[in-house]
């Protein structure tokens, strides 16, 4: 918990954990680590969220009412797993700048996490038509997930392959493998799972932490 607090720049927590030991570490686990790590694990947006930025952004929004401040606040809530608040801020951003591709893409991802794939799909489809490489392929991955949720399996497989032409994301490989299993192609599925697991062995620690949910799924599904 001390290492995690330092990585998040939670300096006050880090100091108290260092001084007080296990009791403060337990409090940190429930109040910060578990609260922020679980809901969006495996579905991160590019960039890191900072809890201490929320109040600053709320002040800027009150004083300036700029769309990019709503977008940033929405991203922080997304990373914290508060998708309802994230949606609220993305929509506020789009009211002020309807053409912002980042706000549209992140709203689509947010709706997907809220299990509203039918609403997310046309938004993500339009974003990916405009820029297939948006957000380093994250928008394209969300589009593939929305297609899967809507039962459009063949199109989803094609989109996952498109993602993997430029990126080796475990999130993409494992979900493509799952679709291969669903379409009775176990050899192709196993190849994707093995590739994800192999890449993970050589990945930096921050990436392994981000991808562990997918690697566990891949290992569980590998024959």
Domain boundaries, the chain: 1-37, 43-155, 168-223
Give the model confidence (pLDDT) of 80-101 as tens digits.
889 999 999 999 999 999 999 9
Give the model confidence (pLDDT) of 149-199 as tens digits.
999 999 999 999 999 999 999 999 999 999 999 999 999 999 999 999 999
CB under 8 Å to 121, separation ≥6 — which residues?
108, 143, 146, 147, 150
Q: Is the pLDDT of residue 223 over 90?
A: no
Phi-psi region of 175 (alpha: psi -120 to 50; beta: other; left: phi over 0): alpha
Give the model confidence (pLDDT) of 130-153 as tens digits.
999 999 999 999 999 999 999 999
Give the Å distances, CA to CA, from 171 to 20, 22, 85, 103, 140.
38, 34, 25, 22, 12
Phi-psi region of 135 (alpha: psi -120 to 50; beta: other; left: phi over 0): left
Helix (H, G, I), strand (E, B) or coil at 88: helix
Q: Is the pLDDT of residue 13 over 50?
A: yes
Q: How many C-beta atoms lie closer than 10 Å to residue 22's C-beta?
A: 9
Q: How many C-beta atoms lie closer than 10 Å to residue 28's C-beta?
A: 21
d(CA 40, CA 53): 19
d(CA 136, CA 142): 12
Angle of helix 138-149 relative to helix 170-182, nearest 10 degrees, comes to 20
pTM of structure: 0.78
The least confident of 50-59, 80-89, 164-173, 209-218 is: 50-59
Q: Is the pLDDT of residue 37 over 50?
A: no
Which of residues 36 and 110 earns the better pLDDT score? 110
Q: How confident is the model at residue 41 (pLDDT cuts 50, 70, 90)?
A: low
Q: How confident is the model at residue 3 (pLDDT cuts 50, 70, 90)?
A: confident
Q: How confident is the model at residue 20 (pLDDT cuts 50, 70, 90)?
A: confident
Q: Is the pLDDT of residue 45 over 80?
A: no
Q: State the average pLDDT for the chain.
A: 90
Q: How confident is the model at residue 6 (pLDDT cuts 50, 70, 90)?
A: confident
Q: What is the CATH number of domain 43-155?
A: 1.25.40.10
Mean pLDDT of 7-26: 82
Q: How confident is the model at residue 35 (pLDDT cuts 50, 70, 90)?
A: low
Give the Å distances, CA to CA, from 86 to 28, 64, 149, 150.
24, 19, 21, 23
Closest CA to 105 of 66, 65, 145: 145
Closest CA to 81 of 119, 127, 120, 32: 32
- What's the longest Cα–Cα distance across the chain? 57
């Amino acid at each position: 918990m001390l290492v995690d607090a330092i990585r998040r720049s939670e300096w006050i927590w880090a100091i108290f954990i260092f001084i007080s030991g296990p009791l403060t570490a337990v409090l940190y686990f429930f109040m910060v680590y578990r609260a922020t790590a679980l809901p969006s694990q495996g579905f991160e947006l590019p960039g890191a969220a900072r809890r201490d930025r929320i109040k600053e952004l709320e002040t800027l929004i009150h004083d300036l009412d700029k769309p990019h401040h709503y977008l940033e606040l929405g991203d922080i809530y997304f990373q914290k797993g508060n998708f309802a608040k994230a949606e609220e801020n993305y929509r506020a951003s789009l009211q002020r700048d309807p053409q912002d591709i980042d706000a549209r893409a992140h709203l689509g991802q947010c709706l997907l996490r809220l299990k509203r794939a039918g609403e997310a799909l046309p938004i993500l489809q339009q974003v990916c038509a405009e820029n297939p490489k948006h957000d380093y392929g994250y928008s394209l991955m969300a589009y593939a997930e929305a297609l899967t949720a809507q039962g459009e399996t063949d199109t989803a497989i094609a989109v996952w392959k498109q993602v993997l032409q430029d990126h080796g994301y475990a999130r993409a490989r494992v979900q493509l493998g799952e679709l291969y299993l669903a379409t009775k192609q176990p050899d192709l599925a196993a190849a994707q799972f093995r590739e994800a697991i192999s890449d993970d062995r050589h990945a930096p620690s921050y990436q392994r932490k981000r991808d562990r949910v997918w690697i566990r799924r891949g290992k569980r599904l590998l024959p």
